[in-house]
Amino acid sequence: MSLGASTVQAEGNQVHANGIDIHYVEAGKGEPLILLHGGVVSTNLIWEGVPWAYASHMGALADHFRVIAPDTRGGGRTAHSGSGEVSFDLLADDVLALIDALGLEQPLIAGFSEGAITATIVAIRNPETVLAVVNDAGYDFFDPDAASYAMCRMMLGGSPEATAAAPDAATRFFEQSDEMRDVFQLMKADQDSGQGPGHWKTFLSLAFPRISKPPGYTFEDLRRISCPTLILAGDRDNFCSVEDGVTAYRMLRDGELAILPNTGHLITPAAIETTIEFFERQLASPSGSTATAG
């Protein structure tokens, strides 16, 4: 199988679930795949070509599955109701409510980075709800001592000790390189077009609490996942180390581990290809078992 960056014109939809109107895009036919994007980005095709967004890969995935990709609460075109914290538990509740509202029976679920954390928590809390899971570069947050928390506080708050988002500090951080400056401008345009001028600041303030501290789950909790689960690890990922990937894999009851060479914190065509192959094997033999970790 050879995959390049391919896009598809996905259909935008909205469903009321868990007390909010969840915006999602849908493309393809077949078995449903809930696809959860990472931080900063959304399902907006404005992110096409950015290597940590799924926008460039929707076509490849839609060739195999009915892809349902929601915007995370508080970002994109999914608004947050109320003033409470948007925790990973709340995001997992949103996904579970989305599955129920759409009448899906044991969908596949995959995510990158922040989306992978949410996908994994869904499987920890409700292991019978999903058929199989792919965690691509989102296992670091199951280590309470991960360096990722300080890195995220630095990015959005201006220092490793920051306690809240600081839009000016975040701007300075992202303007350190042309590439990151372009990403920051895309984020502002995306968030403001989705929920109004200046929403990008609200978006950062909502994201900061959940990405600056442990979510309340550890590697040990991965033992509660009963469905087949693939851990995808880039060998050059600054957030998710190979060592932590091995730890996550060994906790799984029915797990697989794929180390992607020469790969940082990115969604690559190889990651998409590996994801498709893993899911297709589970669909071909849903009661079968992959290599079980000890």
Low-confidence ranges of the chain (pLDDT < 70): 1-9, 286-294
The model's pTM is 0.94
Distance CA(259)–CA(255), nearest Å, equals 13
Contact partners, residue 287, CB within 8 Å, separation at least 6: none
> What are the Cα distances from residue 280, in Å, to 103, 176, 189, 274, 277?
21, 41, 36, 10, 5
Q: How far apart are CA 26 and CA 8, in angstroms?
A: 10
3-state secondary structure the chain: CCCCCCCCCCEEEEEEECCEEEEEEEECCCCEEEEECCCCCCCCHHHCCCCCCCHHHHHHHHCCCEEEEECCCCCCCCCCCCCCCCCHHHHHHHHHHHHHHCCCCCCEEEEECHHHHHHHHHHHHCCCCCCEEEEECCCHHHCCCCCHHHHHHHHHHCCCCCCCCCHHHHHHHHCCCHHHHHHHHHHHHHHHHHHCCCHHHHHHHHHHHHHCCCCCCCHHHHHHCCCCEEEEEECCCCCCCHHHHHHHHHHCCCEEEEEECCCCCCCCHHHHHHHHHHHHHHHHCCCCCCCCCC
- What is residue 286's predicted lDDT score, i.e. its pLDDT? 57
The single residue listed with the structure tokens 């129920």 is 100
Domain range 11-146+216-284, CATH architecture: 3-Layer(aba) Sandwich (3.40)
The predicted structure's pLDDT at residue 9: 62
Residue boundaries of the structural domains of the chain? 11-146+216-284, 147-213
Query: What is the number of alpha carbons within 13 Å of residue 121 lying toward its C-beta?
Result: 26
pLDDT of residue 10: 72
C-alpha 230/C-alpha 227 separation (Å) is 10
